[in-house]
Amino acid sequence: MIKKIINFTSLFVFMVLVGCIGEEKGQLSRVDVQKIDTEENYEDVVMITDSESIELLRQAFEQI
């Protein structure tokens, strides 16, 4: 259970630090997500670029 929490936290931090790339300051245009499996190996990167998902992520980041 603790390992899953650490994996989720690592994924979230990675997503925020690496995935938030904007055309201008404050503008979120895409998010790159990379999952870490239970053996702490990185899996494929998924790029989220559709505007609806970006808007949902932007709203989630505002609440944090």
- 26: tokens are 């404050």
Predicted local distance difference test score (pLDDT) of residue 23: 47
In this predicted structure, what is the pLDDT of residue 34?
A: 85
Per-residue model confidence (pLDDT) at position 40: 82
Spell out the residues 6+ positions from residue 33 whose beta carbon is closer than 8 angstroms to its own.
Answer: 11, 14, 15, 19, 45, 46, 47, 48
Give the predicted TM-score (pTM) of the model: 0.47
Q: Residue type for 52, please?
A: E
Give 2-59 pLDDT, tens digit per residue: 777 777 777 776 766 655 554 455 677 888 888 888 888 888 888 888 889 888 888 8
Render the burial of 2-36: b for 16+ CB within 10 Å, e for the rest: eeeeeeeeeeeebbeeebbeeeeeeebebbebebe
